[in-house]
Amino acid sequence: MGNLKQVHIAVVGAGGVGRHFLTQCSQLLSKHPNASVVLISRSNRSLRVPSFNHRLSLSTWEQDLAASDSPACSPSEIIHFLSSAPGKCIVVDNTSNQDVAASYPDFLKNGISIVTPNKKAFSSDLKLWQSLLESAYPGNERGGLLYHESSVGAGLPIISTLKDLVDTGDQIHKIEGVFSGTMSFLFNSFAPIEGNGGTWSDEVTKAKNAGFTEPDPRDDLNGADVARKLVILARLAGLPIESINSFPVQSLIPKELEQCTSGDEFLERLPEFDGEMEKVKAEAEKKQKIVRFVGSIDVVGREVKVGLEEFEKGHPIAGLKGSDNIISFYTKRYGSNPLIVQGAG
């Protein structure tokens, strides 16, 4: 960044994730005066500089945005705004919005780089994935750069590790692990290596109250979040997976509770089904094993799946703590000892 004359940053999404990003950005940009935030857009309003000689204040942006009467910016409006910028441009998308994700190729074709945790661009329609590869550099010599490390494993270097393995000629045989901090926290509490753990419904409620789940825990328990991450990694490993509907994904939502009108109603009724999860845990314990919610990609067998698996108590997956993720890369280079990335997810 220090070698560039000017870098202009447009931020889409200023909620929980966006707020934390802008805090980090404020610290980072204090060391890089050549870079500036020039636009912040959220669902109902936006804030932008009057000219590219200015920069938005990252100490007062929340108050300034709240006072703005400018509506939210569409992707095409952001592209138009940045097209006259005298330097490099980056769009940081902090949303999970499908429409914004679908516009990534347009940004990239206009030389605008993308940084995002938004999984939907990389795990939905396969044609969109292919369009991203064609629109971004190096597929398009004039295209913007595309970074989405945090779309899998939060801050863990999962995507960069996989890309490095592939780019340096290694052959990926299998990828397996715990890809959800929520599911990790739940099962480490519900089925610990030592002790009995609480009831399933109690542990889900505790996880929600601690902020580990979505406002409606069903959005975590349906397995879709893990499935999206597997689609992304499978595609990077060379498997043209069409969508999350292309392979089995085990949902932990009782069918009787799928139609609950709210997350609160779901939690109220969940104790009725504690016995089902107790049976799952007991079956594993009979074999001296531990149950965990995992995802796996068998590249050789071209098979992807998400769901409950049993592991020996000495297995790295069984021994996770807190909300840690763990991802194992089985490759030709590493043989029977996988390359493991582990940490807070």
| Catalytic annotation, residues | 229
Contacts of 216 (CB under 8 A, 6+ apart): 262, 263, 266
Token couple for 303: 């098979």
**Long-range contact pairs involving 142-145 (C-beta distance under 8 Å, separation at least 24):** 142/111, 143/108, 143/109, 143/111, 144/89, 144/90, 144/107, 144/108, 144/110, 144/111, 144/112, 144/113, 144/114, 145/113, 145/114
Are the C-beta atoms of 146 and 138 separated by less than 8 Å? no
**CA–CA separation, 64 and 291 (whole Å):** 49
| Enclosing H/E stretch for 341 | strand 339-344
Q: Cα dihedral sign for 300, 303, 305, 309? A: negative
CB-based contact 177:338 (threshold 8 Å): no
Q: 7 pairs with which residues across the strands? A: 35, 88
User: Which pair of structure tokens corresponds to residue 244?
Assistant: 């999350």
User: How far is 133 from 192, CA to CA, in rounded Å?
Assistant: 42
- Which one-letter amino acid corresponds to residue 86? P
Residue 61's identity, in one-letter code, is W
Contact between residue 159 and residue 151 where contact means Cβ atoms under 8 Å apart? yes
Q: Are 232 and 123 in contact (CB under 8 A)?
A: yes
